[in-house]
Chains A and B, each alone.
Chain A
Amino acid sequence: MSANARKLVEPINESTATEYATQGAKVRKLSRPDLKLVSQLRPEKASRGVFALLVGGLLGAGLVVMLLINTSLASGAFVVSELQTQKSALTVEAQALSKEVDAMSSPANLEAKARALGMKPSKNPVFLNLGDGSILGKPNGANVSPNAPLPRLATPADLTAVEAVDNSAVTSDFPTTVGPNYDPAAADAAAAGAATAEDSAWGEIVDVTDTPKAARAGKSGKASQPGKKAKIAKSDSGLTATPIG
Chain B
Amino acid sequence: MLAKRIIPCLDIKNGETVKGTNFVNLRSAGDPVELGKSYSDQGADELVYLDITASYEGRKTFTDLVRRVAAELSIPFTVGGGINELSDVDRLLNAGADKVSVNSAALRRPELVNEITSHFGSQVCVVAIDAKYTEEKGWKCYVKGGREETDWGLFDWAREVCERGAGEILFTSMNHDGVKEGFANDALARLSDILSIPVIASGGAGKMEHFRDTFIQGKSDAALAASVFHFGEISIPDLKHYLKSEGINVRL
Q: Do chains A and B stick together as partners?
A: no
| B interface list, Cβ under 8 A from A | none
